[in-house]
Amino acid sequence: MVVRFLARCFLAVVVFFLSLAAFDYVFSKVAERSNYQPVEIWHDVLGGTVDADVVALGNSLVTVGFNTEYMDSVLGVRTYALGFSGSQFDRQSYMYSLYRAKNRPPKVVVNFIDHNAMSLTTRVPNRDQFFPLFFNKDFRKVAFPVEHFFLGGEVYSDVAVAWLRNQQVLIRVSQALQAWFQIYHIHPHSLHHRCARLDVFRIGYRGFIPFMGQVSVRECQRWDTNGVCVSSSIQEQSFRRRS
């Protein structure tokens, strides 16, 4: 009886994780086809379709703050926002080298730097940006060989046993859902410059329910104490234009 019980439990667990893997695939593919900004950028970079004279390189400062339409009209040249959300300088540099390899080199690169970009960490924040691309062959080809590219020393890079991988599958389902929700609702970063009180999003296992609560602008500014936050006048104009 005990053996039968254990066997059934084992079978249920296997079926459960197989179903999740299927879910994961479907959600990833749906999210990949969306207009979720980080995904679009990777598609552009890997597809070799960008033709820009000025490239703004950086993290989400660029993704959120660099309005290409406005810049095109002001400068009279083609610009492209090469934002890599949450990235440090080394990853930005890697992304730019991919960009150069696949696209026409720009005439000017403007690198937006903040304290995050200068920090030394192997962790990649905002992991959700990759999950829609997890089943994309081109992306896997460029990203997988780079050590700790995805999760920076966390479980996935050392995956050895099946269930650990499946734990990541669960996370990815969650992240894909989160990405999916953000596509159809509102991107968290776009709130940062619009609200007096900011909505803070928790990105993690609970991904697809993004609202955690609210903190004041002052609280957010406190997070920036160990670095320099560059906020150029161009960006400010860009924000004003957007709002």
Partner 1 sequence: MTFNSLIFAAFLPIVFCLYWFVFGRNLKWQNAFVVAASYVFYGWWDWKFLILIAITSFCSWGSGLLIFNCRDDRRKARWISAANIILNLGILGLFKYYDFFAQSFADLFLGGKADGILLHLILPVGISFYTFQALSYSIDVYRGKVEPTKDIVQFFAYVSFFPQLVAGPIERSTNLLPQFGRERVFDYSQAVDGLRQMLWGYFKKIVIADWCGIYVDKVFGDIPDQSGAKLIAAGILFAFQIYADFSGYTDIAIGTAKLFGIKLMRNFATPYFSRDIAEFWRRWHISLTTWFRDYLYIPMGGSRCSKPRVALNTMVIFLVSGFWHGANWTFIAWGAFHALLFLPLILTGNNRKYKEIVAPGRILPSFKEFWQILLTFSLVTIGWVIFRADSLSQAWSFFVGVCHWNSIGDISVFFKDDFLIRAVWIAIMLFVEWIDRGEEHGLSMSGVRHRAIRYAIYFAVILVTILYFDDGSPKFIYFQF
Query: In a 3-state reduction of DSSP, which class is residue 76?
Result: coil
Angle at 40 between CA 38 and CA 41, to 5 degrees: 65
Residue 141 is which amino acid? K
CB of 16 to partner 1, least distance (A): 6
Nearer to partner 1, 5 or 184 (CB): 5
* Tokens, residue 60: 């989400």
> Judging by DSSP bridges, how do beta strands 211-216 and 197-201 pair with one another?
antiparallel
End-to-end Cα spacing for the chain? 66
The smaller minimum CB distance to partner 1, of residues 55 and 173, is found at: 173
Residue 2 binds partner 1, judged by CB under 8 A: yes
Alpha carbon 151 to its chain centroid, in Å, reads 12
Residue 95 vs 198, nearer CB to partner 1? 198
Phi then psi for 146, rounded to 5 degrees?
-80, 120
Which residue from 107, 140, 206, 240 is in contact with partner 1, where contact means CB under 8 A?
206
**Which C-beta is closer to partner 1: that of 7 or that of 118?**
7
Q: If binding is defined by CB under 8 A, does position 123 make contact with partner 1?
A: no
Window contacting partner 1 (CB under 8 A); options: 80-88, 92-100, 204-212, 220-228:
204-212
Q: Footprint of partner 1 on residues 3-42 (CB under 8 A)? A: 4-6, 9, 12, 16, 19-20
Asked if 160 is part of the footprint of partner 1 (rule: CB under 8 A), the reply reads no
Please select the residue that binds partner 1; options are 209, 217, 228, 229, rule is CB under 8 A. Answer: 209
Q: How many residues are there in the chain?
A: 243
Least CB distance from residue 60 to partner 1, whole Å?
A: 22
Q: Does 144 bind partner 1 (CB under 8 A)?
A: no
Q: Helix or strand or coil: residue 14?
A: helix
Q: Which of 101, 205, 217, 223 binds partner 1 (CB under 8 A)?
A: 205
Rounded alpha-carbon distances, angstroms, from residue 158 to 6, 153, 164, 165, 167: 28, 7, 9, 9, 13
Would you count residue 212 as binding partner 1 (CB under 8 A)?
A: yes
Q: Choose one: 40-48, 116-124, 203-211, 219-227; the region binding partner 1 (CB under 8 A).
A: 203-211
Identify how many contiguous H helices and E strands the chain contains and give both numbers: 11, 5
DSSP result, 101-123: HHSPPPSEEEE---HHHH---S-
Using CB under 8 A as the binding rule, whether residue 208 contacts partner 1 is answered as yes
Q: Does 217 bind partner 1 (CB under 8 A)?
A: no
- In the block, which residue shows the tokens 């859902």? 177
Which positions lie near partner 1, rule CB under 8 A?
Answer: 1-2, 4-6, 9, 12, 16, 19-20, 170, 173-174, 204-209, 211-213
